[in-house]
Protein backbone atom coordinates (compact mmCIF):
# COMPACT_ATOMS: atom_id res chain seq x y z
CA UNK A 1 0.00 0.00 0.00
CA UNK A 2 1.25 3.49 -0.80
CA UNK A 3 1.39 6.17 1.87
CA UNK A 4 0.17 9.68 1.16
CA UNK A 5 2.79 12.44 1.45
CA UNK A 6 4.03 15.31 -0.66
CA UNK A 7 7.15 16.38 1.20
CA UNK A 8 9.42 13.45 2.00
CA UNK A 9 9.48 11.75 -1.40
CA UNK A 10 8.65 14.57 -3.81
CA UNK A 11 11.39 14.55 -6.44
CA UNK A 12 12.81 11.23 -5.24
CA UNK A 13 12.59 9.24 -8.44
CA UNK A 14 15.52 7.91 -10.42
CA UNK A 15 16.71 9.99 -13.33
CA UNK A 16 19.67 11.49 -15.07
CA UNK A 17 21.13 14.65 -13.65
CA UNK A 18 22.35 17.04 -16.33
CA UNK A 19 25.13 19.51 -15.74
CA UNK A 20 23.86 22.89 -16.88
CA UNK A 21 26.53 25.34 -17.99
CA UNK A 22 26.22 29.08 -18.47
CA UNK A 23 28.64 31.91 -19.13
CA UNK A 24 28.42 35.68 -19.47
CA UNK A 25 30.86 38.58 -19.39
CA UNK A 26 33.84 36.46 -18.32
CA UNK A 27 31.98 34.57 -15.61
CA UNK A 28 30.99 30.92 -15.92
CA UNK A 29 29.19 28.35 -13.83
CA UNK A 30 28.00 24.78 -13.85
CA UNK A 31 25.11 23.39 -11.81
CA UNK A 32 23.47 20.00 -11.42
CA UNK A 33 19.83 19.82 -12.55
CA UNK A 34 17.48 16.91 -12.03
CA UNK A 35 14.50 18.75 -13.51
CA UNK A 36 15.16 18.85 -17.25
CA UNK A 37 13.51 17.39 -20.34
CA UNK A 38 13.19 17.41 -24.11
CA UNK A 39 10.13 19.49 -25.03
CA UNK A 40 9.86 19.36 -28.83
CA UNK A 41 11.51 17.69 -31.82
CA UNK A 42 10.46 20.32 -34.38
CA UNK A 43 11.75 22.80 -33.49
CA UNK A 44 14.27 21.08 -31.18
CA UNK A 45 13.54 22.47 -27.70
CA UNK A 46 14.98 21.46 -24.34
CA UNK A 47 13.86 22.70 -20.94
CA UNK A 48 15.56 23.04 -17.59
CA UNK A 49 14.10 24.26 -14.29
CA UNK A 50 16.48 26.54 -12.39
CA UNK A 51 15.88 28.13 -8.99
CA UNK A 52 15.83 31.92 -9.18
CA UNK A 53 18.40 32.20 -6.38
CA UNK A 54 20.98 30.17 -8.30
CA UNK A 55 23.97 31.94 -9.84
CA UNK A 56 23.39 29.96 -13.02
CA UNK A 57 19.92 31.52 -13.31
CA UNK A 58 21.41 35.02 -13.57
CA UNK A 59 24.06 33.86 -16.06
CA UNK A 60 21.46 32.22 -18.31
CA UNK A 61 19.28 35.34 -18.17
CA UNK A 62 22.20 37.63 -18.99
CA UNK A 63 23.87 35.46 -21.62
CA UNK A 64 20.74 34.04 -23.24
CA UNK A 65 22.29 30.59 -23.66
CA UNK A 66 22.89 27.45 -21.64
CA UNK A 67 24.51 24.07 -22.10
CA UNK A 68 23.05 20.70 -21.14
CA UNK A 69 25.71 18.06 -20.47
CA UNK A 70 25.20 14.37 -19.71
CA UNK A 71 28.12 12.66 -17.98
CA UNK A 72 28.70 8.95 -17.35
CA UNK A 73 28.69 7.33 -13.91
CA UNK A 74 32.50 7.65 -13.71
CA UNK A 75 31.92 11.42 -13.30
CA UNK A 76 29.27 11.13 -10.54
CA UNK A 77 31.58 12.97 -8.12
CA UNK A 78 31.63 15.99 -10.45
CA UNK A 79 27.85 15.81 -10.89
CA UNK A 80 27.39 15.72 -7.12
CA UNK A 81 29.95 18.49 -6.57
CA UNK A 82 28.21 20.75 -9.09
CA UNK A 83 25.12 20.48 -6.92
CA UNK A 84 26.91 21.03 -3.60
CA UNK A 85 29.19 23.99 -4.28
CA UNK A 86 28.08 27.51 -5.15
CA UNK A 87 29.43 30.27 -7.34
CA UNK A 88 27.84 32.64 -4.80
CA UNK A 89 30.58 31.51 -2.41
CA UNK A 90 33.26 32.40 -4.97
CA UNK A 91 33.88 28.82 -6.07
CA UNK A 92 34.96 28.19 -9.67
CA UNK A 93 33.26 24.81 -9.96
CA UNK A 94 34.87 24.11 -13.34
CA UNK A 95 38.32 24.29 -11.72
CA UNK A 96 37.33 22.64 -8.44
CA UNK A 97 35.71 19.66 -10.18
CA UNK A 98 38.20 19.41 -13.08
CA UNK A 99 35.49 20.13 -15.64
CA UNK A 100 37.18 21.25 -18.83
CA UNK A 101 35.27 22.49 -21.86
CA UNK A 102 35.72 21.55 -25.50
CA UNK A 103 37.88 23.91 -27.58
CA UNK A 104 35.78 26.83 -28.81
CA UNK A 105 32.71 25.45 -26.99
CA UNK A 106 32.56 27.15 -23.57
CA UNK A 107 29.29 25.40 -22.62
CA UNK A 108 30.29 21.86 -23.72
CA UNK A 109 32.00 19.79 -21.02
CA UNK A 110 34.78 17.40 -21.94
CA UNK A 111 33.82 13.88 -20.87
CA UNK A 112 30.11 14.33 -21.58
CA UNK A 113 28.63 11.62 -23.77
CA UNK A 114 26.00 14.13 -24.97
CA UNK A 115 25.82 17.93 -24.99
CA UNK A 116 23.24 20.46 -26.20
CA UNK A 117 23.95 24.16 -26.67
CA UNK A 118 20.64 26.01 -26.28
CA UNK A 119 19.54 29.59 -26.95
CA UNK A 120 16.80 30.71 -24.56
CA UNK A 121 13.49 31.03 -26.41
CA UNK A 122 11.14 31.34 -23.42
CA UNK A 123 11.20 31.58 -19.64
CA UNK A 124 8.17 30.37 -17.70
CA UNK A 125 7.80 30.85 -13.93
CA UNK A 126 6.99 27.51 -12.31
CA UNK A 127 6.61 27.97 -8.57
CA UNK A 128 10.03 28.48 -6.98
CA UNK A 129 11.88 27.80 -10.26
CA UNK A 130 11.88 29.24 -13.76
CA UNK A 131 11.64 26.85 -16.70
CA UNK A 132 14.18 27.94 -19.31
CA UNK A 133 13.12 26.69 -22.73
CA UNK A 134 16.07 26.53 -25.07
CA UNK A 135 16.23 26.09 -28.82
CA UNK A 136 18.89 23.42 -29.38
CA UNK A 137 21.46 25.02 -31.69
CA UNK A 138 24.29 22.49 -31.43
CA UNK A 139 24.63 18.87 -30.42
CA UNK A 140 27.93 17.19 -29.56
CA UNK A 141 28.18 13.51 -28.71
CA UNK A 142 30.81 10.87 -28.08
CA UNK A 143 30.39 8.28 -30.87
CA UNK A 144 31.96 5.60 -28.65
CA UNK A 145 29.10 6.06 -26.16
CA UNK A 146 26.48 4.81 -28.66
CA UNK A 147 25.94 1.59 -30.57
CA UNK A 148 25.20 1.28 -34.30
CA UNK A 149 21.47 1.76 -33.63
CA UNK A 150 22.16 5.05 -31.83
CA UNK A 151 21.38 3.64 -28.38
CA UNK A 152 23.47 4.68 -25.41
CA UNK A 153 25.99 2.06 -24.28
CA UNK A 154 27.98 4.29 -21.92
CA UNK A 155 26.88 3.91 -18.29
CA UNK A 156 24.84 7.05 -17.49
CA UNK A 157 24.92 8.59 -14.01
CA UNK A 158 21.41 7.99 -12.66
CA UNK A 159 20.51 9.83 -9.46
CA UNK A 160 18.54 7.84 -6.90
CA UNK A 161 18.37 10.57 -4.25
CA UNK A 162 20.33 11.32 -1.08
CA UNK A 163 23.66 11.74 -2.93
CA UNK A 164 23.44 8.23 -4.40
CA UNK A 165 24.01 7.35 -8.06
CA UNK A 166 23.70 4.15 -10.05
CA UNK A 167 23.67 3.19 -13.72
CA UNK A 168 21.74 0.98 -16.11
CA UNK A 169 22.21 -2.71 -16.70
CA UNK A 170 23.59 -3.99 -19.99
CA UNK A 171 20.48 -6.19 -20.23
CA UNK A 172 17.91 -4.84 -22.69
CA UNK A 173 14.34 -5.72 -23.57
CA UNK A 174 13.31 -4.83 -27.13
CA UNK A 175 9.62 -4.59 -27.93
CA UNK A 176 7.78 -4.35 -31.23
CA UNK A 177 10.64 -5.34 -33.51
**To the nearest whole number, what is the mean pLDDT of the chain?**
94
This prediction's pTM: 0.93
Q: Which domain holds residue 80?
A: 35-161
**Inside any domain, residue 16:** no
pLDDT tens digits, 19-68: 999 999 999 999 999 999 999 999 999 999 999 999 999 999 999 999 99
Cis peptide before 112 (omega within 30 of 0): no
**Inside any domain, residue 8:** no
| Cβ atoms 49, 126 nearer than 8 A | yes
**Inside any domain, residue 19:** no
**Inside any domain, residue 102:** yes
Sheet containing strand 158-161, edge to edge, reads 15-16, 158-161, 164-166
**Inside any domain, residue 95:** yes
| Mean pLDDT calculated for residue range 140-167 | 95
Q: Which of 142, 27, 145, 31 is nearest to 97 (CA)?
A: 31
Q: How far is CA 154 from CA 111, 140, 145, 163, 165, in A?
A: 11, 15, 5, 21, 15
**Inside any domain, residue 96:** yes
**CA 49 to CA 34: how far, in whole Å?**
8
pLDDT at 60: 99
**Inside any domain, residue 172:** no
| Mean pLDDT calculated for residue range 111-134 | 98
- Segments of the chain assigned E as strands: 15-16, 18-24, 27-33, 36-40, 45-51, 65-70, 101-102, 105-109, 114-126, 129-141, 158-161, 164-166
The residue ranking higher by pLDDT, 2 or 13, is 13
The residue ranking higher by pLDDT, 16 or 171, is 16
Give the chain's domain count: 1
**CA 20 to CA 34: how far, in whole Å?**
10
**Inside any domain, residue 135:** yes
For residue 132, what is the domain's CATH number? 2.30.110.10
Amino acid sequence: MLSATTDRFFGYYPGTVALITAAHDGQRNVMAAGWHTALSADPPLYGVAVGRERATHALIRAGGTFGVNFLPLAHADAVQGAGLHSLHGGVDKHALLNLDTLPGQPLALRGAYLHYTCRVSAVTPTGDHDLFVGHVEQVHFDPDAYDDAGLLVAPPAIYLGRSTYTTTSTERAEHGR
